Amino acid sequence: MARVVIVGASVAGVGVANELRRLGHAGEILLVDGQDHLPYDRPPLSKAVLLGEEADAGLPFHEAAHYAGIGVELVLGRAAVSLDAATRTITLADGTRLRGDAVVIASGARARRFPAGLAEGPVWTIRDLADAHALRRQLRPGMRLAVVGGGFVGAEVASSARKLGLEVAVFEAAPLPFLRILGPTVAAELAALHEGAGVALRCGITVDRISRHGAAQRLHLSDGGSEEADLVVAGLGCLPNVEWLEGSGLPLVNGVVCDAFGRTGVDGIFAAGDAAAWFSPLAGRHERHEHWTAAREQARIVAAAIAGTEATAWEAFVPYFWSDLHGRRVQVLGDTAGAEEVSFAHRDEARGAFLVEYRHGGRIVGVAGCNAGARTMRYLAQLAPAAAEAA
């Protein structure tokens, strides 16, 4: 029976293992990860973990007994360092070699760091559990925190830090955070959320370098000004973990290049999640997705491809992500970037709720909701008729 080696035990990797068993795959499954923790979920890292509410956060995907129960062997604490594509053999950091009849690359991504040469003091990032634990130990009420980059990770760190009683400033290069993906209407709403929570939002500005200033740090800004902070966190997006595949012969262009089934072009080698750039039949190009639900959906499709069963097509997937900011839940469904028309469909000030529809050519292509969970997700049916039918 076929042996499947999965590299990376986050959403995509664990998802492939679970789906394979659900589909009746009877061969060995090995789940490899460089970290020595029971596989865990990342969304709580910038929220519950920073707030010290980790115990209730549902951090591990499963207890150890789950993996034993479904016959998935965890190979933890040893990172994959190379792949021999021709023999589908992975080499681990300690020299162990693992050969698979199928290999799934789900090695994820890492935080993009503030350029080391431009910062004298520490600039924190948050990607792994160890990062979140380290940052949590730094956060003290009354401290001044500077967040470089206004994306969702930066915004969630800002939100958690405000809740913990820090003074927070967010530095964003664009005129508003989230402008490119959500457009000006919703970007302005989210900026108002920050400001309502007492976050100082500095937009249209970049941090050129960071110098030490006594025990604090001084951020030198593109407008010639400067700001002081006790702690600096960078939320500058992430980069795919594919360096270990250099020399493998796999096509690497901003991730492992795959078709719309996660196939790399080398027989039996697949990729899914943040490390993979899947072909999008709708967009006509390869795209790397960094959202939880995209990784989970790719896992479902790859598992089906390995097991030889049918799955709903990648083009039927409706992008979805969520964030928790200043006590509000933000949910985004569908394609909100570059829509022609944006309009409010619902607003309830008392609940801090709104729902915005995005249209292209008169057709709804996406929605963004705040504290409007049920209402927002009711759009799934009209955004995904094909997915609902085919499943």
Partner 1 sequence: MRVTIDKSRCIAAGQCVLNAPFVFDQGEEDGIVILLKEDPPPEQEEHTRRAARLCPAEAIKLHD
Nearer Cβ to partner 1 (167/335): 335
**Please, which residue, 10 or 331, has the CB nearer to partner 1?**
331
Query: Which residue lies nearer to partner 1 by CB, 75 or 355?
Result: 355
> Nearest to residue 199, comparing CAs of 234, 159, 242?
159
Shortest approach of partner 1 to residue 183 CB, angstroms? 21
Residue 244 Cα distances to 67, 80, 129, 250, angstroms? 26, 7, 22, 11
- Minimum separation from the CB atom of position 231 to partner 1 (A): 29
Residue 153 dihedral angles phi and psi, to the nearest 5°: -65, -45
- Of the pair 345, 377, the CB lying nearest partner 1 is at 377
Q: Is 41 or 341 the residue whose CB approaches partner 1 more closely? A: 41
What are the two backbone dihedrals, phi and then psi, of residue 45, each rounded to the nearest 5 degrees? -60, -45
Of 110 and 378, nearer to partner 1 (C-beta) is 378
Cβ proximity to partner 1: between 3 and 66 the closer is: 66
Residue 144 or 328 with smaller CB distance to partner 1 = 328
Smallest CA-to-CA distance from 134 within 146, 123, 148, 120 is with: 123
**What secondary structure does DSSP assign to 282-345, as a single string?**
TTTEEEE---HHHHHHHHHHHHHHHHT-----GGG---EEEEEETTEEEEEEE--TT-SEEEEE
Among 272, 321, 322, 279, CA closest to 297: 272
Whether 57 and 44 have beta carbons less than 8 Å apart is answered as yes
What is the smallest separation between the CB atom of 320 and partner 1, expressed in angstroms?
6
With respect to partner 1, which residue has the nearer C-beta, 197 or 380?
A: 380
Q: b/e string for 45-73 if b means 16 or more Cβ within 10 A? A: bbbbbbbeebeebebebbeeebbeeeebe
CB of residue 374 to partner 1, shortest distance in Å? 4
Asked whether 79 and 91 are in contact (CB, 8 A), the reply is no
Buried/exposed 181-219: b ≥16 CB within 10 Å, e otherwise: bbbeebbebbbebbeebebebbbebebeebeeeeeebbb
Scan for tokens 């970037």, then name that residue: 337
- Structural contact between residues 122 and 149, judged by C-beta atoms closer than 8 angstroms: no
353-354-355 Cα angle (round to 5): 140
**Least separation in angstroms between CB 380 and partner 1:** 5
Least distance from C-beta 62 to partner 1, angstroms? 9
Strands 231-234 and 144-148: parallel
Helix (H) or strand (E) holding 92: strand 89-92
| Residue 12 beta carbon to partner 1: minimum distance, rounded to whole angstroms | 11
Q: Applying CB under 8 A, which residues contact partner 1?
A: 18, 22, 43, 56-58, 292-293, 296-297, 320, 322, 329, 331, 333, 351, 353, 371-378, 380-381, 384, 388, 391
- State how far the Cα of 81 lies from the Cα of 228, in Å rounded to an integer: 40
CB of residue 290 vs partner 1: minimum separation in angstroms? 15
- Least Å distance, CB 306 to partner 1, is 17
CB 354 → partner 1: shortest distance, Å? 12
Of 52 and 225, the one with the shorter C-beta distance to partner 1 is: 52
